[in-house]
Amino acid sequence: MCIDNGITPDCDATVTGTVVDDNEDPLAGVAVEVVDGEATSTDLSGAFSLTAPMGEEVLFRHGDATGYWGEVETTTFTPPDLDLGTKYLPSDDAVSDELGGVPGVDPIDPGKGIVIVSFDDASESGGESAGLSLSSEPSFTQNDQGVFEVSPALLDNGGGELIFVNVDPGDATITVQGSSGVNTCVLASPSITDWPVVAHTITFVEAVCAPL
């Protein structure tokens, strides 16, 4: 192992950034980690520094804080992208306002997680779907008026995201499917087989699609 800020291949890189709230005020004591790797927490100015494997796709989590949801996302640390800049934690109110109140879906439980599966532009036809191995509320997506409604698949001319709320915490297996006869879809991060679902945290998953 070597630490050289990502200049030499097969080394760990020093990654830095700052975690703030909706008002760009720093959040102290927020857990930050490379999943299954090094973990740290933010200081009084919201800043963090930790080492991560360079050039390898990893799951990166900046944890929740009182009144704020954490986030899990995939990233690959390569120079010069070792300063992550500002990471925003969405507030409880913002998450409830945006994702709560969907007919047929129970109110959002902060003791459980949220999974958002985003499909790329090749999914504009609608019909693409995703599945989770963990229990959750039924998935929902946007219709062509931008209103969320329960659906197991993307709607024609609707949004490119399927959203699962109140997901039981644990490691999830996530699958995606294309629209029958139109396209095929796969996870953008096939090397990741266990997606962490954490209470009071949003896990972001990306899918890519190609026409048949």
Domains 12-88 and 107-211 share a fold: yes
Mean pLDDT of 140-168: 91
Say if domain 12-88 classifies as CATH 2.60.40.1120: yes
Query: What integer pLDDT is reported at residue 158 of this predicted model?
Result: 64
pLDDT digits (tens, 9 = 90+) for 64-86: 899 999 999 999 887 766 888 99
- The CATH code that applies to domain 107-211 is 2.60.40
Rounded CA-CA distance 86/31 in Å is 15
Residue 103, pLDDT above cutoff 80: yes
The residues spanned by each domain of the chain are: 12-88, 107-211
Residue 106, pLDDT above cutoff 50: yes
pLDDT digits (tens, 9 = 90+) for 174-196: 999 999 888 999 999 998 999 99
User: pLDDT-based confidence at 9, cuts 50/70/90?
Assistant: low
Give the range with max mean pLDDT: 12-21, 119-128, 130-139: 130-139
Q: What residue type is assigned to position 189 of the chain?
A: S
**Secondary structure of 112-165 as H, E, C letters:** CEEEEEEECHHHCCCCCEEEECCCCCCCEEECCCCCEEECCECCCCCCCEEEEE
Instruction: Pick the range with the lowest mean pLDDT from 121-125, 151-155, 171-175.
Output: 121-125
Query: Residue 99 in contact with residue 165, Cβ under 8 Å?
Result: yes
Rounded CA-CA distance 203/66 in Å is 18
For 75, 133, 146, 157, 199, the CA distances from 196, given in Å and listed in that order, are: 14, 12, 28, 30, 10
Would you say the pTM of this structure is higher than 0.85? yes
β pairing state of 113-119 and 161-167: antiparallel
